C-alpha cells in the first residue's frame, strides 16, 4: 500500500476546499483533539488535518501524521506576512530553510539555535520544493485568474503575483506592527515572510527523517493593517490558493 501524503494547515479556510475535494468518502480519525481526514486527492492517498495555530500545535500534529499514519512526506500550507520588500500580498513563498525567530536560549546556546540539536535552521526537501515550485508557478500563471475573480484580486492588489523561494521565519507571535517586522528583517535579513508553524514542522521532520515542504501565500505585510488584511484574505482567497497548488502537487509527487 502506498504511504499517504500528509497535508496540514493552521486554519480551516486554508484546507476547506481540499476537504470538499476529498468528498464524503474520506474517513475521519480523531486523535489528540484533531480530526485527520484519510482519503484521496488527485487519485493519491492523503491525510488532511487542521493543525491549529502555533508551533506546539503544528509539531504535535506532525508527529501524529508520522507515527500514526506513516506519511511519506509532509506539506504545511497556509498564510504568512511579507517581510522582505519584494514580497507582496498574493505572492507565494516556498521555504528552503526555516528558523524560529523567537527562540533564544542565550547564554547557554546561540540565539535561534535549537538546544541539543546544534542547528538554528532546518532545510526542507529539495525534490519536493522543485515539484511545489512548478505547481505554484503553473497556478499563478493560469488557474489563479479563474479561481479568484478580478474584483477580488484588484481589491487585494494582486496583479502580478510572484513565486519566491528561500527562508521563512516562524514564531508564536502574530506580527502586526511595522516596527516589529522591520526589526525582524534586520536581525534575520534572509527572511522572506513570517508565520507561526513551519519551523516547528521542519524540526520534527528533521528528527524523524521525513521529507517536508512548506508553502505560504502572503496575505499581508506584517504591519498595522495585517489583522484586517489577514482575515479578509483568509476568508476570500486563501482556500483557492491552497487547493489550486496542492491539487497539482499531490498529482505530481
DSSP string, 44-101: EEEEEEE--SSHHHHHHHHHHHHHHH--SEEEEEEEEEE-STT--TT-EEEEEEEEET
pLDDT single digits (tens) 194-219: 999 999 999 999 999 999 999 999 99
- Asked whether the CA dihedral 96, 78, 239, 31 is positive or negative, the reply is positive
Specify the pLDDT at position 1. 64
**Taking the model in full, what pTM does it have?**
0.95
Alpha-carbon Rg for the chain, nearest whole angstrom, is 17
Tell me the backbone φ, ψ of residue 179, rounded to 5 degrees: -65, -40
Per-residue pLDDT for 95 more than 80? yes
d(CA 133, CA 152): 24
pLDDT single digits (tens) 31-84: 999 999 999 999 999 999 999 999 999 999 999 999 999 999 999 999 999 999
Tell me the backbone φ, ψ of residue 160, rounded to 5 degrees: -135, 70
d(CA 34, CA 186): 37
Tell me the backbone φ, ψ of residue 106, rounded to 5 degrees: -65, 145
Domains and CATH numbers, the chain: 77-252 (3.40.50.1580)
Q: Which residues pair with 214 in a beta bridge?
A: 76
Amino acid at each position: 500500500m502506498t504511504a499517504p501524503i500528509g497535508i496540514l494547515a493552521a486554519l480551516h479556510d486554508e484546507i476547506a476546499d481540499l476537504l470538499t475535494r476529498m468528498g464524503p468518502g474520506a474517513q475521519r480519525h480523531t486523535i489528540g483533539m484533531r480530526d485527520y481526514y484519510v482519503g484521496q486527492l488527485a487519485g493519491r492517498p492523503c491525510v488532511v488535518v487542521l493543525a491549529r495555530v502555533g508551533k506546539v500545535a503544528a509539531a504535535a500534529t506532525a508527529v501524529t501524521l508520522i507515527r500514526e499514519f506513516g506519511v511519506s512526506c509532509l506539506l504545511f500550507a497556509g498564510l504568512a506576512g511579507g517581510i522582505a520588500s519584494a514580497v507582496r500580498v498574493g505572492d507565494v513563498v516556498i521555504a528552503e530553510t526555516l528558523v524560529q525567530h523567537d527562540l533564544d536560549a542565550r547564554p547557554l546556546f546561540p540565539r535561534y539555535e535549537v538546544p541539543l540539536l546544534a542547528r538554528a535552521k532546518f532545510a526542507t526537501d529539495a525534490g519536493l520544493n522543485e515539484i511545489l515550485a512548478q505547481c505554484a508557478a503553473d497556478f499563478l500563471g493560469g488557474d489563479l485568474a479563474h479561481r479568484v475573480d478580478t474584483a477580488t484580486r484588484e481589491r487585494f492588489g494582486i496583479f502580478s503575483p510572484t513565486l519566491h523561494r528561500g527562508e521563512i521565519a516562524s514564531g508564536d507571535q502574530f506580527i502586526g506592527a511595522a516596527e516589529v517586522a522591520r526589526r525582524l528583517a534586520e536581525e534575520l535579513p534572509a527572511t522572506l515572510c513570517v508565520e507561526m508553524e513551519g519551523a516547528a514542522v521542519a524540526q520534527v521532520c528533521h528528527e524523524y527523517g521525513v521529507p517536508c515542504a512548506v508553502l505560504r501565500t502572503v496575505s499581508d505585510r506584517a504591519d498595522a493593517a495585517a489583522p484586517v488584511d489577514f482575515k479578509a484574505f483568509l476568508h476570500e482567497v486563501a482556500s483557492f490558493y491552497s487547493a489550486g497548488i496542492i491539487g497539482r502537487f499531490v498529482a505530481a509527487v
